[in-house]
Amino acid sequence: MQQELETVTKLVDTLVEFAVQYGFQLLGALVFLFVGLKVAAWTGRKITLVAETRNIDQTLSRFIGNIVKLVVVAFVAIITLGNFGISTAPLIALAGASAFGATMALQGPLSNYGAGLSIILSRPFAVGDMISVKNVAGMVHEISLAATVLVGEDGEKITVPNKEIVGEVIVNSNEHRIVETRIAIAYDEDSTHALAVLRQVLSEAAKVGSEPKPQVGIHDFTYGGVVIGLRFWVPGREYFQTRYRVNEALLNGLKAAGIGLIPATAAAISVPLLSADLEG
């Protein structure tokens, strides 16, 4: 019993001696860590806010703020470990070796992060833009380091890995997309009157942009008639429904004006009576 009591007494004395010798150092390190993390978070938010007030893209602003926050946290962690008497040199070497191993093991996913960094810094598009890439099109909903999320016309979310975007042809139409339509009318029809009718229909059509102004003209010539080309802008998020509605109005306008299209036999040799090429 006496021996156990002496053991407990020595343990208490050791703890008291440790607390007296290192207590304030430990407490100061913990306080410094807490304050440092708060400062890092505040600095990141402040940098993001300043960048946004300077009209810098939202994604790029957040990226810059997060980078600054991580740098401050890293410095705080190194200083805190030093206050505990822990040498940071072996930890830095271990972190470097771990990063190299992770890079080799995650080469595929990391390529997305590299491509995402390239997109954020070069800013070929921003949140809210309408883009077409890799046979998909939609409004940019989110840009992260790993992938870019698009929202299609029907509300579906399309996630495109960033490595599939960098190096590809990107068509950025901002908030609109262009419709290019061709209509083949018979050669004996009054093409001047047909052009006027089509221009009138486009000027009255809802959701067709006035700037830039819709373009209507003789696009080409074919067997038995001429091909009229039309180019006009429509909202990107209502592309197909606007295109179909305008096509119907164009056809009805020509019929009301008594302007006939090329017969199906001639049209089959050359171009469709009504065809649209998607560009943008």
Q: Is the confidence at residue 222, as pLDDT, over 80?
A: yes
Q: Is the confidence at residue 32, as pLDDT, over 90?
A: no
**CATH number of the domain within which 195 lies:** 3.30.70.100
| 70 and 10 co-located in one domain | yes
In this structure, is residue 119 part of a structural domain? no
Written as one string, the DSSP assignment of 98-154 is HHHHHHHHTHHHHHHHHHHHHHHHH-SS-TT-EEEETTEEEEEEEE-SSEEEEE-TT
Taking the C-alpha atoms of residue 27 and residue 22, their distance in angstroms, rounded to an integer, is 8
In this structure, is residue 194 part of a structural domain? yes
Q: Is the confidence at residue 270, as pLDDT, over 60?
A: no
Taking the C-alpha atoms of residue 145 and residue 142, their distance in angstroms, rounded to an integer, is 10
Query: What average pLDDT score do residues 56-74 get?
Result: 77
pLDDT value at residue 26: 67
Of 104, 93, 40, 49, give the one whose Cα is nearest residue 67.
40
| 186 and 221 co-located in one domain | yes
| 202 and 259 co-located in one domain | yes
In this structure, is residue 182 part of a structural domain? yes
| 148 and 190 co-located in one domain | no
List, in sequence order, every residue forming a beta bridge with 136; answer none if it has no partner: 133
Q: What is the pLDDT of residues 126-135, one digit of tens each?
A: 888 888 888 8
| 150 and 66 co-located in one domain | no
Calculate what percentage of the chain has a pLDDT beyond 90: 15
Query: What average pLDDT score do residues 113-132 get?
Result: 84
pLDDT value at residue 268: 47
Tell which of 143, 172, 201 closes a domain: 172
pLDDT value at residue 241: 87
Domain that holds residue 166: 125-172
The whole-model pTM stands at: 0.52
Number of Cβ within a 10 Å radius of residue 110: 16
In this structure, is residue 36 part of a structural domain? yes
pLDDT value at residue 225: 86
Taking the C-alpha atoms of residue 69 and residue 200, their distance in angstroms, rounded to an integer, is 57
* Banded model confidence at residue 154, pLDDT cuts 50, 70, 90: confident
Tell which of 76, 105, 134 closes a domain: 105
| 182 and 212 co-located in one domain | yes
Specify the number of domains making up the chain.
3
| 266 and 185 co-located in one domain | yes
In this structure, is residue 115 part of a structural domain? no
Give the lowest-confidence range in 100-104, 171-175, 209-213, 232-236.
Answer: 100-104
In this structure, is residue 269 part of a structural domain? yes
In this structure, is residue 95 part of a structural domain? yes
| 180 and 168 co-located in one domain | no
**CATH number of the domain within which 86 lies:** 1.10.287.1260
| 163 and 181 co-located in one domain | no
pLDDT value at residue 195: 92
pLDDT value at residue 274: 47
In this structure, is residue 114 part of a structural domain? no
| 53 and 75 co-located in one domain | yes
State which amino acid sits at residue 132.
S
| 145 and 189 co-located in one domain | no
Q: Is the confidence at residue 21, as pLDDT, over 80?
A: no
Give the lowest-confidence range in 67-81, 133-147, 197-211.
Answer: 67-81
Tell which of 105, 134, 153 closes a domain: 105
| 267 and 184 co-located in one domain | yes
